[in-house]
Amino acid sequence: MLTELSGPLGPDKSRDLTKRLEHRDTKTALAGEAELAVLWAISRVAHMVPEPVLPGSTSRPEAASNDLFRSGPAVIEVRALSDDSFSGKEAMDRTANIIAGYADRLRKGAGKHLDFEFVERSYWNRRFHRERCVDPAFHLNAEIREQLRLWITAPDWPNPARIRMTHGKTDVVVAWKESALRLFRTFCSMPAVAYDREDNPIYKALRKKSAQVKGAAAGTLRCVVLVDAGCSLLMRLRTMGTVHEIGGEDIIRHAIAKLSIDIVIVLSPYRRNSVGPSRDLELTWKVTCFDRREGIPDGEYERIERMAAQLPRPRLEGYQARALHRQGLFAPERGWHLPTTIKTMLHGEKMTIKLSAGLLHEYLAGRIDADRFRKKAFRDEKNFFEMELARGNSIRQAQFEPGGIDADDDWVIFELDVDAEKIVQTQASPPSDTDANS
């Protein structure tokens, strides 16, 4: 995708996207992926100019298109959303890291045994409120330091197995566990739900994007594409909870009515049949369009549907991709490659090896040694190239095969077979001096 867009994007924008795609921060990387994928998909079905200059404005939207919508030109912004900030995950992790770090100072290795469950509370104040008891600006005061010291430095620690700490907005139960994984050691029973049309991540994101597109010329549609990167409010646009909860659809319609936005498009990984024996395990992109206008022209969203069809089929739901990225599965240094496929034909006399081009390049460039190449290419089994060479088979043909738009890798296909000409030449050649003397 990045290669195809390198011309229109220009070197600076391409470098910016590459840096974001390889960033360790999950939100930054997923936002980069969403922007790149949407811009690339638009360019496949419609006119697309990245970062257009808006007259009389310093804002530079992500893209502009003359014909993405049938009714006229549009400026487009893209935003990937997750539950990280709205679920309190970021604030809970920050609090846990501060407490665990202090625990390690009191007793070496104590922090890795601590698990954190944050309390939730609900109340009425003109409207229903429900909140997690966690403070994004949490800090250790003298009282909590002393409470931790008495607990962790006790000769019979961990006894008791859990303590409750309350300070300001924070109310958390800290428990000892044999092993508490850093990424999964925080929990709160309150899910990522909204009780206010504006105090939620969707509205806040649209308000920021509204500032980017409001400078569009008269007659130009202002469009924001929201991509579900693990956002419950986008995955289920209509609420499934209590009457006090507000769904994503209600929030988006409220934002469109209030902000300088004409169209909001939601892209979310979706399983068509999610329950029952006919469950469809393949994900597809669900496209939902919200429009402030009345009397929308026929076929207005035809190219939006075609754009979504260009996107690579999602392999994971948004929350799964977010969780795996946080664990470092997609880190560039992991060296992800396409898997090797081996086929034998003609009673085992002919073999085809379909190998990752990226992996082969790393080996030829000296980035990995022969043993590492064998382990990654052949799953730590024997080297099939060496095996075929020992049998007298040679590489007879090699060709490339594209790996796909979302693979970031290609295949090199080698065909190995008996080299009859080489055998004849070997048999016909005179013996060497070494052979004659042996």
CA 253, 251, 190 angle in degrees (round to 5)?
165
| pTM for the model | 0.73
Q: What are 121-136's pLDDT values in tens digits?
A: 888 877 777 888 999 9
Q: Are 44 and 310 in contact (CB under 8 A)?
A: yes
| Alpha carbons 241 and 235: distance in angstroms, whole number | 14
Q: Is the pLDDT of residue 339 over 60?
A: yes
Q: Are 106 and 148 in contact (CB under 8 A)?
A: yes
Q: Are 200 and 246 in contact (CB under 8 A)?
A: yes
Q: Is the pLDDT of residue 255 over 70?
A: yes
For residue 379, the SS3 value is coil
Other CB atoms within a 10 A radius of the CB of residue 145 amount to 13
Q: The dihedral of CA 254, 256, 257, 258: what is its sign?
A: positive
Q: What are 151-166's pLDDT values in tens digits?
A: 999 999 999 999 999 9
Q: Are 302 and 70 in contact (CB under 8 A)?
A: yes
Beta strand segments in 106-220, E: 114-118, 120-124, 128-132, 162-167, 170-176, 186-188
Closest of 362, 363, 340, 364 to residue 353, by C-alpha:
340
Closest of 200, 192, 197 to residue 253, by C-alpha:
197
Closest of 180, 242, 250, 254 to residue 210, by C-alpha:
254
Q: What are 32-51's pLDDT values in tens digits?
A: 888 899 999 999 999 999 98
Q: Is the pLDDT of residue 242 over 70?
A: no
| Alpha carbons 232 and 246: distance in angstroms, whole number | 12
Q: The dihedral of CA 167, 170, 171, 174: what is its sign?
A: negative
For residue 414, the SS3 value is strand
What are 356's strand-pairing partners? 411
Two tokens, residue 53: 């200059």
Q: Where are the domains of the chain?
A: 2-84+195-326, 89-188, 335-426
Sequential DSSP letters for 281-339:
---EEEEEEEES-SSPPTTTTHHHHHHHHHSPPPSS-HHHHHHHHHTTTT-GGG---PP
| Alpha carbons 113 and 100: distance in angstroms, whole number | 9
Place of tokens 């202090």: 102
* Rg, Å, the chain Cα set: 29
| Alpha carbons 4 and 342: distance in angstroms, whole number | 31
Closest of 19, 26, 90, 31 to residue 329, by C-alpha:
26
pLDDT at residue 278 in the model:
47
Closest of 20, 15, 57, 54 to residue 35, by C-alpha:
20
Mean pLDDT of the chain, nearest integer: 85
Beta strand segments in 120-169, E: 120-124, 128-132, 162-167
At 286, the pLDDT band (50, 70, 90 cuts) reads: very high
In the chain the first and final C-alpha atoms are separated, in Å, by 61
Closest of 337, 308, 263 to residue 37, by C-alpha:
308
Q: What are 347-380's pLDDT values in tens digits?
A: 656 889 999 998 899 889 988 898 888 888 888 7
Two tokens, residue 423: 């055998």
* Cis peptide bond upstream of 155, omega within 30: no
Stated as kind and residue range, the H or E segment containing 267 is strand 263-270
For residue 178, the SS3 value is coil
In 22-59, alpha helices (H): 26-45
pLDDT at residue 102 in the model:
96
Q: Which of 196-205, 366-375, 398-407, 426-435 has the lowest mean pLDDT?
A: 426-435
Q: Is the pLDDT of residue 73 over 80?
A: yes
Q: State mean pLDDT over 218-231.
A: 92
φ and ψ of 220, to 5 deg: -100, 130
pLDDT at residue 227 in the model:
94
φ and ψ of 223, to 5 deg: -120, 140
| Alpha carbons 246 and 153: distance in angstroms, whole number | 46
φ and ψ of 228, to 5 deg: -75, 110
